[in-house]
A = this chain, B = another copy of it.
């Protein structure tokens, strides 16, 4: 298809598509003449992935670029890609980690992981992020919220089993990487929003 059709079918404006082409987020089309190129369904698919990550997942353009680089890297696959994708999708935090209480919070998170029997790399950034939140909750004197930690872990585990189960039924590697990214980012958007809706329902019972 010509670029005009790509604009129409993706809903992404021409200047934005040109920007993605320049930045390497979208691979070049097949040249068909001076300043003309032909685009295939893979371009349409890629555009939809980019827009989903930015518009729904709230990712920045740099993060999207990094994620797509890992999708396109033929050396990566399976477990490794999932790790990389997760790593790239991690939102940076700026929490102060110098206090001894933070170290204690991190030890509690590692203990939780051990109790659940999760075989994971202990240096992944998410471990520190959970520690940040645990530390902040305690600093606010809201320790009772921490009684929910095991419940969060249980829900996380149940969801993760189901999500990975669906993705692992995909036959192709490219599809798997894309599914991991989509599942991580869009699944998170769904979970987070549904939790807030459910909180409204749960608190309406206390009126």
* In the assembled complex, A130 has its CB within 8 A of some CB on chain B: yes
Question: Closest approach, in angstroms, between the C-beta of A95 and any C-beta of chain B?
Answer: 4
Q: Are B159 and A152 neighbours in the complex by a CB distance under 8 Å?
A: yes
Among A18-26, A29-37, A137-145, the stretch in contact with B: A137-145
Query: In the assembly, how many copies of this chain are there?
Result: 2
Q: Are B151 and A186 neighbours in the complex by a CB distance under 8 Å?
A: no
* In the assembled complex, A67 has its CB within 8 A of some CB on chain B: no
Q: Are A56 and B133 neighbours in the complex by a CB distance under 8 Å?
A: yes
Tell me the interface secondary structure of chain A in the complex.
Answer: helix
In-complex Cβ contact of A192 among B78, B188, B196 (8 A): B188
Q: List 5 A-B contacts (CB under 8 A).
A: A54-B94, A120-B201, A129-B189, A152-B191, A164-B203
Output the nearest chain B residue to A166 by Cβ-Cβ distance.
B144
In the bound complex, residues from chain B placing their C-beta under 8 Å from that of A163 are 145, 148, 199, 202
Output the nearest chain B residue to A191 by Cβ-Cβ distance.
B152
Instruction: Tell me, in angstroms, the Cα distance from A198 to B129 when the chains sit together.
Output: 14
Tell me the chain A residues, 2-52 only, with Cβ under 8 Å from chain B: 11, 45, 48-49, 51-52
Most buried by B among A124, A169, A201, A207: A201
In the bound complex, residues from chain B placing their C-beta under 8 Å from that of A170 are 144
Q: Are A198 and B127 neighbours in the complex by a CB distance under 8 Å?
A: no
Instruction: Tell me, in angstroms, the Cα distance from A116 to B190 when the chains sit together.
Output: 15
Question: Closest approach, in angstroms, between the C-beta of A20 and any C-beta of chain B?
Answer: 16
Q: Contacts A129-B193, A140-B178; is A187 near B148 (CB within 8 Å)? A: yes
Q: Contacts A168-B203, A187-B145; is A197 near B127 (CB within 8 Å)? A: yes
Q: Are A156 and B197 neighbours in the complex by a CB distance under 8 Å?
A: yes
Instruction: Tell me, in angstroms, the Cα distance from A99 to B51 when the chains sit together.
Output: 15
